[in-house]
Amino acid sequence: MDGMFRRTKKNEKDRSGQADPRTVTLIGKPGCHLCDDARAVVQQVCAETGALWEEKDIEQDEQLYRAYWEQIPVVLVDGEQHTFWKVDPDRLRRELVS
């Protein structure tokens, strides 16, 4: 995998003994109806699990464009590709709580 994404161990503990929150990254573009659907799922599941989430515009990042253009929307969990095109909320939820 490209070194631009931070890799972490699942539920890595910080110095206080608390697990770091998982981070979900949604890669998409404006005007993409599949991206809109994916965003709704990511927002809901992250709200339920306490995971952080961010969104990146594939049209604003050449590396993301080259890597994922034909797959958008793409969902990464802690920098690793989780899924593309359609986000299954149950599968994402299981990944975030594991």
Interval 36-58: pLDDT, tens: 999 999 999 999 999 999 999 99
Alpha-carbon distance 10 to 26, whole Å?
A: 18
pTM, entire model: 0.81
Q: Name the DSSP letter for residue 74.
A: E
Give DSSP secondary structure letters for 22-53.
PEEEEEE-TT-HHHHHHHHHHHHHHHHHT-EE
Half-sphere exposure of residue 92: CA atoms within 13 angstroms, side-chain side: 33
pLDDT computed for residue 33 by the predictor: 97
